[in-house]
Amino acid sequence: MSRLHRHPVAIGVGIATVAVLLLPLSYVAGWMGDLAQVKPELVALAQSRQHQAWLRAHQPQQPPQGSPQVQAQWTASSVTLSWSQVPRASQYTIYRAANAQTFSKAKTVATVAQTGTPVQYTDATVAPGTAYTYWVASDNAVGQGAPSAPRTIRTYLTWTTLSSEAESQGRLGTVTTWSKTAWGILGQSATSHTFALWNIAGHLVTPDTAATASSTWFTQKGVHWTLGTTRLFPSSQNPPTTFSNAITLQTIPTGEATPENLAVWQSQQKWRDAIVAKGQPLPPDALLLNQYGEAIGLTNAQSDLVRDP
């Protein structure tokens, strides 16, 4: 009898146990069903966030910060600008104005992508012996940063122009050295050679060293400097020889050496010239011009460079 009385209870406990066990499974099944419904929204949200992160990384929210620090090198026919990359920049705009005008007068000459370090641009549209001012500004999708400080340069003259100007500004004169013994009774002799004469910063000078005239009771010696039929009188006999005559010649300004310079001299009544770099040997008795046509100095007979007075 006791078994019959306990059986319904056991059955009830079993049913309750099964119900308890099935409850988590039903919850999980329901949660999985809900997850299946919201999963597309979660995937779309994740993709949207990834896209926003990519945009923030690839599309700056402000223009580039800072200005390029521009360096320049030039020849007679080109100007090469170089600068370090600017943060957030994707490209650069190069502006140019004639002479030393302000930025408001500048015009765009090129845009350059940000590739390599340093970034470079070569302007091959310049004229020889002309001044230009450049600015470089960094750009991105948002806008343009502040332009660089102005960089003003003056292109060199061509070697042909330098040579022609030096020859046209100079003159060839004659120096005659004579001597005679016993007042000419025992004979006399004379030697002549040509020399180049220039007006450098207002001084008539020649690379030739003035010969000294001397006289004893037995021998006489003299030196005559002439430019055509005009007698020249040296005021300095130290190289370079300086003359005090008021002869009109085009004035050559003075300047500093450039990476390469032009030596001009006369030989056998003909003009000669040669391009010389810093540190290279110089020809004797020559005028040395920089690449702007300015006189650096003259060389003596030993090829030493001597500044004009």
Buried/exposed 145-179: b ≥16 CB within 10 Å, e otherwise: bebbebbebbbbbeeeebbebbbebbbebebebeb
Q: Please tell me whether residues 137 and 166 are part of one structural domain.
A: no
Q: How far apart are CA 166 and CA 160, in angstroms?
A: 10
Residue 13 included in any domain: no
| Residues 167, 261 share a domain | yes
* Nearest Cα residue to 197 out of 141, 251, 136, 277: 251
Q: What is the pLDDT of residues 157-205, one digit of tens each?
A: 999 999 999 999 999 999 999 888 877 777 788 899 889 999 999 889 9
Q: What pLDDT is recorded for position 160?
A: 96
Residue 282 lies in a domain: yes
CB 92 within 8 A of CB 139: yes
Residue 43 has pLDDT above 90, yes or no: no
pLDDT score, position 92: 96
**Distance in angstroms (rounded) separating the CA atoms of residues 247 and 256:** 26
Q: What is the pLDDT of residue 3?
A: 43
Which of 109, 133, 155 is the endpoint of a domain?
Answer: 155
Residue 167 lies in a domain: yes
Domain-terminating residue out of 98, 133, 155? 155
Rounded CA separation 145/60 (Å): 12
Read off the tokens for 238.
């130290």
- Is 143 in the same domain as 266? no
Are the beta carbons of 128 and 76 closer than 8 angstroms?
yes
Beta carbons within 10 angstroms of residue 110's beta carbon? 15
The residue from 155, 184, 204 where one domain ends is 155
Taking only the tens place, the pLDDT of each residue in 88-147 is: 899 999 999 998 888 999 999 999 997 778 999 999 999 999 999 999 999 998 999 999
CB atoms within 10 A of CB 197: 25
Looking at the structure, do residues 174 and 232 belong to the same domain, yes or no?
yes
Query: Domain limits at 130?
Result: 71-155
Query: DSSP of 175-230, one letter per residue?
Result: EEEEEEEGGGTT-EEEEEEEEEEEEETTEEEESSPPPPP-B-SSEEEEEEEEETTE
Q: Is residue 47 part of a domain?
A: no
Higher pLDDT, 212 or 208: 208
β-pair partners for 276:
261
Q: What are phi and psi of 141, to 5 degrees?
A: -65, -20
Q: Is residue 55 part of a domain?
A: no
User: What's residue 1's pLDDT?
Assistant: 43
236 located within any domain? yes
Kindly report the pTM of this predicted structure: 0.73
Same domain, 278 and 220: yes
Q: Which CATH number belongs to the domain containing residue 136 in this structure?
A: 2.60.40.10
Look at residue 17 in the predicted model and tell me its pLDDT: 59
The band of 38, judged by pLDDT with boundaries at 50, 70 and 90, is: low
CA neighbor of 63 nearest in space, from 37, 42, 92: 92
Q: Is 31 helix (H, G, I), strand (E, B) or coil?
A: helix
pLDDT band at 4 (very low <50, low <70, confident <90, very high): very low
Whether a cis peptide bond, with omega within 30° of 0, leads into 240 is yes
The reply to whether omega before 118 is within 30° of 0 (cis) is yes
What pLDDT shows up at residue 232?
92
What's 190's domain CATH number?
Answer: 2.40.10
105 with 145, same domain? yes
Are residues 231 and 144 both part of a single domain? no
Give CA–CA dist 301/51, Å, rounded: 78
Q: Is residue 62 part of a domain?
A: no
Clarify whether residues 261 and 138 are in a common domain.
no
Domain count, the chain: 2
- Structural domain contains residue 82: yes
> In the numeric block, which tokens belong to residue 182?
């016993």
Verify that 129 and 261 share a domain, yes or no: no
Q: Are residues 172 and 232 in the same domain?
A: yes
Same domain, 108 and 151: yes
- Condensed to tens digits (0 to 9), the pLDDT of residues 280-292 reads 899 999 999 999 9
